[in-house]
């Protein structure tokens, strides 16, 4: 009930200031688990993806520091967000993501780790792919266009803009060069350029071997890295 109330508030808020256009919603499963990975150029990405992924509940991965304020603490707790502690071991958060996915739920993560400063897509970290591999669930690429123009990191107050949220078909997490493919697909969906293409390619290759070398089972590797939306 709390999640539905929050979503209703987001829809009203969005209609007034940031009307959303959603494409490819049919790629989201009606039931069963899926890991949604999206670009992160603005704080508006979170409510935009949340309402676009509905009506099913979607658990967002977020930095624990966002709970410093009482309002956000209540929102994140009530919507079952998965919290991570920046700069520390991310194994507990990875286990929680895997647990949510194995339970058949949707999880949303922003693999860049923080909002883009220039609107371009930054290199993805491998934690999202690793959690999908362990849970054995598909990855749904998602691109958000317009949120950066409405409220970039350097701007104090947002502007009215139409936000487009686009989903692509599911990707097998065991796909070769998975990070490279995800970055390319998300950039195309969001209609944005990619930054650090060479770095992301090498990380994709490392991620392809990382799961097998991390000890196997349900024990995520810390080196894989975990990215989440931030307030930075």
Q: Taking the model in full, what pTM does it have?
A: 0.82
61 within 8 A of 88, measured Cβ to Cβ = no
* pLDDT computed for residue 48 by the predictor: 94
For residues 79 and 24, which has the higher predicted lDDT (pLDDT)? 24
- Calculate mean pLDDT across residues 15-38: 94
- Per residue in 149-203, pLDDT (tens digit) is 999 989 989 899 999 999 999 999 999 999 999 999 999 999 999 995 544 444 5
Tokens of 202: 């090498």
Q: What are the backbone angles phi and psi of residue 64, rounded to the nearest 5°?
A: -60, -25
In the chain, % of residues over pLDDT 70: 80
- Per residue in 106-149, pLDDT (tens digit) is 999 999 988 899 999 999 999 999 999 999 999 999 999 999 99
For residues 202 and 98, which has the higher predicted lDDT (pLDDT)? 98
**Banded pLDDT at 211 (limits 50, 70, 90):** very low
Q: What are the backbone angles phi and psi of residue 87, rounded to the nearest 5°?
A: 80, 5
- Per residue in 64-87, pLDDT (tens digit) is 766 667 777 788 777 889 988 765
* pLDDT computed for residue 219 by the predictor: 44
Residue 97 C-beta-side C-alpha neighbours within 13 Å: 32
SS3 of 107-169: the string is: EEECCCCCCCCCCCECCCCCHHHHHHHHHCCCEEEEEEECHHHHCCCCCCCCCCCCEEEEECC
Residue 215, pLDDT > 50, answer no
In the chain the domains, ranked by start, together with CATH numbers, are: 2-224 (3.40.1130)
């Amino acid at each position: 009930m709390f999640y539905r109330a929050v979503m209703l508030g987001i829809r009203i808020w969005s209609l007034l200031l940031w009307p959303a256009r959603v494409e490819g919603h049919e790629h989201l499963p009606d039931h069963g688990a899926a890991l949604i990975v999206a670009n992160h150029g603005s704080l508006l990405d979170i409510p935009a993806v949340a309402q676009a992924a509905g009506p099913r509940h979607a658990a967002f991965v977020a930095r624990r520091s966002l709970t410093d304020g009482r309002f956000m603490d209540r929102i994140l707790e009530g919507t079952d967000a998965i919290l991570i502690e920046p700069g520390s071991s991310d194994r507990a958060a990875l286990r929680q993501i895997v647990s949510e996915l194995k339970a058949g739920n949707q999880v949303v993560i922003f693999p860049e780790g923080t909002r883009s400063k220039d609107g371009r897509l930054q290199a993805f970290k491998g934690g999202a792919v690793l959690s999908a591999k362990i849970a054995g669930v598909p990855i749904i690429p998602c691109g958000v266009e317009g949120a950066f123009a409405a409220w970039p990191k350097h701007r104090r107050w947002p502007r009215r803009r139409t936000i487009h949220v686009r989903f692509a078909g599911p990707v097998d997490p065991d796909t070769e060069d998975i990070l490279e493919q995800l970055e390319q697909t998300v950039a195309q969906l969001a209609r944005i350029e990619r930054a650090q293409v060479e770095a992301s390619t090498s990380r994709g290759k490392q991620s392809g071997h990382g799961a097998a070398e991390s000890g196997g089972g349900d024990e995520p590797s810390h080196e894989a890295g975990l990215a989440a939306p931030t307030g930075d």
